[in-house]
């Protein structure tokens, strides 16, 4: 339990005006008389529910969706603001608006919605101090009343009646029993607005409404200015997609209403942006009832990671769009918690998605504190038996769903507990995250071993059973009259049993847990042997003969040497039999291309990556996607929408391919022996159709840049290393180095070191092409 670093004297106070979840929002208020305003006057504030603070009518700060989302029964974030500029001598009015938020608005989908998940009372806690002297603190002398927000919810949207803007205090407050030690300083960057998006297009619908296309799908809110008569109403619906004939379609939102209903107060122009909700959309349909005219309208994307920390471009424009689609899906789903999607009645911190995306996330944005915070939630939600939740913060931990067992313990998902700390360690070099999560890792590994009492994990088929796994979720089977091979749950589960045990053994060594390191290394070897016995045929063929099995087994060194050549040939045949169409789902896809380049099968990696048919990354780009789709087949070639019951157009999981673009194509990889980009391992793979390639990344030492271009039989590779980052050119049999900085060079086995500054490296490429044709 993170210790609260400041002395709280305030009480958590609930507005008596509040009538419960789904009713009008309310506020608490108090006056503060000041004889002088000292420049170091600070406000420390938090809430049960979401809050906004106004001083003398002016909103404090620009942070959105404060105090944020954590496992509120474990820790609750507070923010601190210097408020001197809002205060004046004499009477100051402090008003704290409160909304249902993640605290008590609907969580989970329609079949098993959870309301009041973390509590049924919204409340605020705040204190104003200058240095050590307390000027004001929330207590039972505060007043309360209702807000013009007549209803709000994360999925619901917001109803706002501007005629109710002159706030009336109609009652007092009640001090709640609350453990102040739950309060922790907000652990990551606040949710902020990105630059507004103006409509790229608009058109009228038959029912008199107008549809606005903002040309970018995003986690966002609408913002508009309208003028008209009091009582006129502006209703805004949102959607990610248009069906055939430009039909406005948001059936995939499921039970998330995701609407805005704004009632005008009339007179001068009125500007409105929702306060306690957000949506996932590209299109907005606006209907006005009564006399009013829309003057301006914008989409306001929001995110906890608004700024990019890395970029990748190449000679294929659709690939560059795919990278930006990944950036937007990250922004849209990194809103306090890494969620699966921002639009439907889900938006949950799914661990599997976050696990496979962790590496890419760190390349594209500075995620250290954001994902570290998330890991604290995952650890808080871990079950006593070691099962790691399917999503975190986990509403089902406090409100188990009858008859659906425990929503925890799936391999591939629970392995976030080893994989994400490892990626954070590689990217930011802080062993602290490894030490903090190591006990939870051990509990998870014991849980995995106990599922079937040994190295081979045999998950039950029933959702909710101990060890149930999502396997390789959404693995495409192709034409279901002649379905292509897919991986079985026990094989997928055992692969991840080995992956997590292997990672934990390395981590134990790094944090000096020698005894555990020895035991885990031994257990990893045992799982590896069992995997060989159970899944390899005597000819080196993997049992399910599907792309996911080979990709994960080769990437994590689980293929015995004696089978390497044969298994590689089987792997190639499976892909060629599929005519280079992807045959992997959530856990197989991130491993597919890295495994192929590791095996020198770039021709297949290039074919899979650049195919434009479904399933394929570029298929969705060619259909106009501006974010990453949940399903490969989310939209049919004729524009018809695939089953809206589970079809998000903004899921970052398949964007995890960007890690391969940075590490295997641009050839920039963090090193586990010198993490945090103290050392950058340079291992480019020259996929000719992607030439020219360029990538950049903001490391803790500064910006690293790399670019390459193929000229005939060689590739010119340029890299600029910041002070503090050492380059290590590894020997590469596929693309041997011929020159470094103009000097003929044979790279020694242990690699060639490069200091800070700009370097030019020439690699031989031709050999590769010739080899490509024959194989």
Which residue has the closest beta carbon to ligand BGC?
340
Residues in 601-620 that interact with ligand BGC by CB under 6 A: none
**Nearer of residues 270 and 490 to ligand BGC, judged by Cβ:** 490
**From candidates 352, 502, 588, 675, binder to ligand BGC by CB under 6 A:** 352
Q: Distances from the Cα of 352 to the Cαs of 24, 274, 388, 474, 621, in angstroms?
A: 36, 31, 11, 12, 24
The 630-659 contact track toward ligand BGC, x by CB under 6 A, reads ----------------x-------------
CA distance 757 to 603: 33
Question: Can you spell out the DSSP letters for 544-601?
Answer: T--HHHHHHHHHTT-S-GGGHHHHHHHHHHHHHHTTT-----TTTHHHHHHHHHHTT-
Report the nearest approach of ligand BGC to the CB of residue 191 (Å): 20
With contacts defined by CB under 6 A, name the span among 42-50, 349-357, 607-615, 720-728 that binds ligand BGC: 349-357
Which lies closer to ligand BGC via its Cβ, residue 18 or residue 346? 346
In sequence order, the β-bridge partners of residue 15 are 173
What is the chain's Cα-based Rg? 27
Tell me which residue of 49, 101, 72 sits closest to 183, measured CA to CA. 72
Select 103 or 586, whichever has its Cβ closest to ligand BGC.
Answer: 586
Q: Rounded distance, CA 594 to CA 600, Å?
A: 10
Give the shortest CB-648-to-ligand BGC separation in angstroms: 6
Q: How far is the CB of 125 from ligand BGC (least distance, A)?
A: 33
- Strand 259-263 and strand 757-764: pairing? unpaired
* Of residues 391 and 425, the one with the C-beta less far from ligand BGC: 391
Of 350, 428, 449, 708, the one binding ligand BGC (CB under 6 A) is 350
**Minimum distance from CB of 337 to ligand BGC (Å)?**
12
HSE-CB of 339 using CA atoms within 13 angstroms: 29
Q: In this complex, which beta carbon is closest to ligand BGC, that of residue 144 or of residue 355? A: 355
Shortest spacing between CB 658 and ligand BGC, in angstroms = 18
The residue (of 343 and 501) whose beta carbon lies closer to ligand BGC is: 343
- 350 or 438: CB nearest ligand BGC: 350
Residues 470, 496, 570, 617: which binds ligand BGC (CB under 6 A)?
470
Q: How far is the CB of 405 from ligand BGC (least distance, A)?
A: 14
Is residue 9 within 8 A of residue 132, CB to CB? The reply is no
From the list 185-193, 338-346, 377-385, 446-454, the region that binds ligand BGC by CB under 6 A is 338-346
Return the C-alpha torsion angle 510, 514, 520, 525, nearest 10: 90
Least distance between ligand BGC and beta carbon 346 (Å):
6
Closest C-alpha to 463, from 414, 415, 405, 383: 405
Check residue 590 for interaction with ligand BGC (CB under 6 A): no
CA angle 685–690–692, rounded 5-degree value = 90
Q: Which stretch binds ligand BGC (CB under 6 A): 118-126, 176-184, 285-293, 340-348?
A: 340-348
User: What is the closest distance, in whole angstroms, from the C-beta atom of residue 367 to ligand BGC in the complex?
Assistant: 18
Distance between CA 722 and CA 758 in Å, rounded? Answer: 9
Site string for ligand BGC, 154-193 (x = CB under 6 A): ----------------------------------------
Give the phi and the psi of residue 144 in degrees, each rounded to 5.
-145, 165
Q: Tell me whether residue 554 or residue 586 sits nearer to ligand BGC (CB atom).
A: 586
Whose Cβ is closer to ligand BGC: residue 376's or residue 631's? 631
In sign, the C-alpha dihedral spanning 595, 597, 600, 606 is positive
CB of 594 to ligand BGC, least distance (A): 20
For residue 584, list its beta bridge partners: none
**Which C-beta is closer to ligand BGC: that of 276 or that of 357?**
357
Rounded alpha-carbon distances, angstroms, from residue 325 to 313, 617, 624, 650: 13, 11, 10, 9
Specify the residue, 341 or 379, whose C-beta has the smaller distance to ligand BGC: 341
Angle between helices 432-452 and 416-428 (to 10 degrees): 160
> Which residues are CB-contacts of 515 (< 8 A; sequence separation ≥ 6)?
none
Asked if 473 is part of the footprint of ligand BGC (rule: CB under 6 A), the reply reads: yes
Q: Which residue, among 705, 552, 626, has the nearest Cα to 219 in the 3D structure?
A: 626
- Binding track over 283-322 against ligand BGC, x by CB under 6 A: ----------------------------------------
Answer for which of 100, 159, 336, 353 binds ligand BGC (CB under 6 A) is: 353
Cα separation, 343 vs 511, whole angstroms = 40
Segment near ligand BGC (CB under 6 A); pick from 51-59, 133-141, 144-152, 339-347? 339-347
- Whole-number Cα distances in Å, 512 to 153, 293, 418, 504, 518: 46, 67, 16, 12, 11
| Residue (49 or 352) nearer to ligand BGC, CB | 352
* Nearest to ligand BGC of 155, 312 (CB atom): 155
Task: Determine which residue in the list 18, 270, 336, 346 makes contact with ligand BGC, applying CB under 6 A.
Answer: 346
Binding mask 531-570 for ligand BGC (x = CB under 6 A): ----------------------------------------
582 vs 715 by CB, closer to ligand BGC: 582
SS3 377: helix
Collect all residues with Cβ–Cβ distance below 8 Å to 536 and sequence separation of at least 6. 542, 543, 560, 563, 567
Give backbone dihedrals phi and psi of 392, rounded to 5 degrees, phi first: -145, 140
Q: Which residue(s) pair with 53 in the sheet?
A: 96
| Cα four-point dihedral sign 730, 735, 741, 743 | positive
Size of the site for ligand BGC (CB under 6 A): 10
CA dist., res. 456 & res. 454, Å (int): 6
Chain centre distance of CA 275: 22
Minimum distance from residue 427 beta carbon to ligand BGC (Å): 23
Comparing CB distances to ligand BGC, the nearer of 352 and 485 is: 352
The least distance separating ligand BGC from the CB of residue 605, rounded to whole angstroms, comes to: 25
Among 336, 340, 377, 415, binds ligand BGC (CB under 6 A): 340
**Interface segment toward ligand BGC; rule CB under 6 A; list 197-205, 345-353, 421-429, 619-627:** 345-353
**Residue 447 vs 654, nearer CB to ligand BGC:** 654
N residues, the chain: 775
Task: Say if strands 726-729 and 679-682 run parallel, antiparallel, or are unpaired.
Answer: parallel
Q: Which residues of this chain interact with ligand BGC, rule CB under 6 A?
A: 340-341, 346, 350, 352-353, 470, 473, 586, 646
């Amino acid at each position: 339990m993170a210790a609260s670093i400041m002395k709280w004297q305030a009480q958590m106070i609930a507005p008596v005006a509040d009538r419960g979840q789904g009713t009008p929002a309310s506020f608490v208020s108090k006056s503060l008389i000041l004889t002088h305003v000292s420049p170091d006057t600070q406000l420390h504030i938090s809430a049960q529910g979401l809050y906004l603070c106004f001083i003398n009518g002016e909103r404090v700060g620009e942070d959105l969706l404060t105090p944020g989302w954590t496992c509120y029964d474990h820790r609750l974030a507070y923010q601190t603001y210097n408020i001197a500029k809002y205060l004046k001598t004499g009477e100051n009015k402090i008003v704290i608006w409160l909304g249902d938020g993640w605290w008590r608005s609907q969580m989970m989908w329609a079949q098993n919605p959870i309301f009041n998940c973390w509590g049924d009372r919204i409340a605020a806690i705040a204190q104003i101090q200058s240095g050590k002297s307390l000027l004001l603190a929330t207590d039972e002398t505060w007043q309360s009343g209702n807000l013009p927000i007549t209803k709000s919810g994360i999925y619901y949207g917001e109803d706002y009646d501007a005629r109710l803007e002159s706030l009336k205090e109609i009652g007092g407050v009640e001090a709640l029993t609350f453990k102040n030690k739950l309060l922790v300083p907000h652990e990551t960057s606040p949710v902020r607005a990105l630059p507004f998006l103006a409509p790229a297009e608009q058109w009228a619908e038959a029912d008199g409404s107008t549809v606005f296309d903002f040309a970018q799908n995003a986690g966002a809110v609408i913002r508009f200015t309208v003028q008209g008569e009091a009582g006129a109403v502006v209703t805004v619906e949102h959607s990610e997609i248009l069906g055939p004939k430009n039909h406005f379609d948001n059936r995939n939102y499921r039970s998330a209403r995701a609407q805005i209903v704004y009632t005008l107060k009339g007179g001068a122009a009125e500007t409105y942006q929702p306060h306690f909700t957000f949506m996932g959309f590209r299109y907005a349909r606006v209907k006005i009832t009564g006399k009013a005219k829309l003057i301006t309208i914008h989409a306001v994307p929001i995110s906890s990671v608004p700024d990019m920390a890395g970029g990748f471009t190449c000679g294929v424009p659709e690939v560059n769009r795919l990278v930006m689609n990944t950036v937007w899906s990250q922004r849209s789903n990194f809103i306090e918690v890494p969620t699966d999607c921002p639009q439907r009645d889900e938006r949950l911190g799914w661990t599997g998605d976050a696990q496979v995306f962790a590496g890419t996330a760190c390349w594209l944005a500075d995620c250290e504190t954001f994902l570290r915070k998330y890991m604290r939630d995952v650890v808080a939600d871990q079950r006593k038996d070691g099962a790691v939740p399917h999503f975190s913060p986990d509403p089902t931990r406090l409100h188990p769903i009858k008859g659906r067992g425990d929503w925890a313990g799936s391999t591939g998902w629970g392995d976030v507990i080893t994989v994400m700390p490892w990626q954070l360690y590689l990217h930011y070099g802080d062993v602290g995250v490894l030490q903090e999560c190591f006990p939870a890792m051990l509990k998870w590994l014991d849980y995995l071993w106990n599922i079937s009492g040994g190295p081979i994990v045999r998950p039950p088929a029933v959702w909710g059973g101990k060890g149930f796994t999502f396997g390789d979720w959404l693995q495409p089977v192709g034409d279901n009259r002649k379905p292509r091979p897919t991986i079985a749950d026990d094989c997928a589960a055992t692969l991840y049993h080995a992956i997590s045990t292997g990672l934990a053994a390395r981590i134990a060594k790094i944090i000096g847990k020698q005894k555990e390191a020895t035991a885990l290394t031994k257990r990893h070897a045992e799982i590896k042997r069992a995997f060989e016995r159970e899944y390899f045929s005597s000819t080196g063929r993997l049992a399910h003969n599907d792309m996911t099995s080979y990709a994960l087994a080769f990437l994590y060194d689980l293929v015995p040497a004696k089978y390497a050549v044969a298994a590689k040939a089987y792997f190639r045949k499976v892909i060629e039999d599929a005519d280079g169409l992807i045959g992997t789902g959530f856990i197989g896809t991130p491993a597919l291309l890295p495994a192929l380049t590791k095996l020198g099968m770039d021709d297949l990696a290039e074919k899979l990556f650049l195919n434009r048919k479904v399933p394929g990354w570029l298929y969705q780009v060619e259909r106009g996607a501006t974010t990453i789709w949940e399903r490969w087949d989310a939209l049919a070639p004729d524009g018809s929408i695939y089953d809206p019951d589970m079809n998000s157009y903004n899921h970052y999981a398949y964007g995890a391919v960007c890690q391969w673009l940075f590490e295997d194509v641009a050839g920039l990889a963090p090193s586990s022996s010198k993490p945090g980009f103290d050392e950058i391992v340079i291992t480019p793979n020259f996929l000719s159709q992607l030439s020219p390639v360029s990538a950049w990344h903001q490391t803790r030492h500064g910006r690293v840049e790399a670019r390459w271009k193929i000229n005939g039989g060689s590739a010119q590779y340029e890299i600029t290393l910041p002070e503090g980052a050492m380059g290590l050119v590894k020997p590469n049999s596929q693309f041997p180095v011929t020159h470094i900085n103009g000097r003929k060079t044979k790279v020694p086995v242990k690699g060639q070191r490069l200091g800070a500054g700009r370097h030019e490296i020439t690699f031989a490429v031709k050999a590769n092409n010739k080899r490509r044709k024959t194989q």
